[in-house]
Amino acid sequence: MRIAVVSDVHANLPALEAVIEAVGRVDAWWHCGDVVDYGPHPDEVVARLRDLGAQGVLGNHDAAALGSSIIEWFNPFAQTACLWTRDRISAETRAWLAELPQTATIEGWALVHGSFRDPLEEYVTRGSQAAASMAVSGARLALHGHTHVPRAWRKAGDDARDLPLTAGRSLTLGDDTWFLNPGSVGQPRDRDPRAAALVLDTDAGVATLLRVPYDIGTTQVDIRRAGLPAILADRLEAGL
């Protein structure tokens, strides 16, 4: 199977459309949460993923948009954006988000937003965290998001090594144990403003990261028009 994995789309429709175009035909779409919030197109992004039949998991921003008290931990501009999203999303969007589980296993792959120790909150940025998460899930192949930075963690004894996951370079998975992060479609934070996505070829055991340019200006205009905090528009062009 050829599978497209996206994460942290954050209601950025031009970024998602560019990824869909770049990926082309696939057998399935999976996502690792944070479908909405920050960006100006929550209903449009959910409708697009629903039409693609995407399967995935709940992110902390999806939970906050549904009314979770998690919003209290957000910084002021994130709280402002979340309240905008809560007011704006349709009943259909709310219902689709509300059905997302915190963890899922699809075709032998385990999916989570943050980590398997703490599905909504933990940022996996160190090998020890990745290894602990892999131990909790017990899955040989797993996917996460939340950091907005593409990463490939490979289990190494009780630890995990961070392998480079660069655009266009394919990673051979072999028989190793992996915890892969596709990066963010709608708000990358690795100083590369291009949308990120991961394509899995499960027959060949290969994962390939895509970085896709998109019309950042359109999203920025829509963020400003919506009255969302200006920092959410500004950061997109810096990839932060």
Q: Contacting Zn ion (CB under 5 A), which of 17, 34, 118, 222?
A: 34
> How many residues belong to the site for Zn ion (CB under 5 A)?
2
**Which phi and psi (to 5°) does residue 188 adopt?**
-60, 145
Does residue 62 bind Zn ion (CB under 5 A)? Answer: no
CB of 92 to Zn ion, least distance (A): 22
- Rounded to a whole number of angstroms, the CA Rg of the chain reads 16
Stretch that binds Zn ion, among 5-13, 154-162, 167-175, 201-209 (CB under 5 A): 5-13
CB of 51 to Zn ion, least distance (A): 22
* C-alpha to C-alpha distance for 171 and 137, rounded to whole angstroms: 22
Q: Which helix (H) or strand (E) holds 20?
A: helix 13-23
**Which residue's CB is nearer to Zn ion, number 48 or number 148?**
148
Question: Nearest residue by C-beta to Zn ion?
Answer: 34
Does residue 8 bind Zn ion (CB under 5 A)? Answer: yes
Q: Which residue do the tokens 């032998």 mark? A: 108
**Which residue's CB is nearer to Zn ion, number 8 or number 122?**
8
Stretch that binds Zn ion, among 1-9, 97-105, 156-164, 201-209 (CB under 5 A): 1-9
* C-alpha to C-alpha distance for 119 and 103, rounded to whole angstroms: 7
Does residue 37 bind Zn ion (CB under 5 A)? Answer: no
Check: CB of residue 34 under 8 Å from CB of residue 140.
Answer: no
Using DSSP's 3-state secondary structure scheme, residue 97 falls into helix
- The C-alpha torsion from 186 through 190 and 191 to 197, rounded to 10°, is -40
CB of 61 to Zn ion, least distance (A): 6
Stretch that binds Zn ion, among 4-12, 97-105, 193-201, 225-233 (CB under 5 A): 4-12
Q: What is the DSSP letter of 116?
A: S
Q: Report the interface residues with Zn ion, using CB under 5 A.
A: 8, 34
